[in-house]
Amino acid sequence: MTSAQTTSSDAQAIDIGAMYDIVMEAIEPDLLRKNLPLLEEKYKEESKEKRLKRLAHYQECLAIFDEAMEEITQDMALHSVLSESAISLTDPFALAA
């Protein structure tokens, strides 16, 4: 197989880190993987009160992220089931295999 060719499993492979960044970018850019190492420096002058508020905000963002990922995985599972059903419906011999 050449590098230009892919199997169906290769085509469906998911880069979890990239998915995290795509979803999190819409929620809170501070929490992108590339920004996490920079947060300490970025907020080094903030007060303890502001820091606690920011961390509480981050917890809310992570809860939103978890909900979004749950929806995405459910949609992906449904898409997978529907795709398999469509294959079975279009290929009457698929069930016999």
Q: What is the pLDDT of residue 47?
A: 98
pLDDT at 54: 98
> What are the sequence ranges of the domains in the chain?
15-90
Task: Indicate whether 70 pLDDT > 80.
Answer: yes
- The span from the CA of 6 to the CA of 1, in Å, is 8
The C-alpha atoms of residue 11 and residue 78 are separated, in whole angstroms, by 18
Q: What is the pLDDT of residues 5-49, one digit of tens each?
A: 444 444 456 788 999 999 999 999 999 999 999 999 999 999 999
| Token pair belonging to 11 | 């085509």
Please, are residues 27 and 65 in contact by the beta-carbon 8 Å criterion? yes
Q: Which two tokens stand for residue 88?
A: 């079975």
14-24 per-position pLDDT tens digit: 788 999 999 99
| Residues counted in the chain | 97
Integer Cα distance of 74 and 31 in angstroms: 24
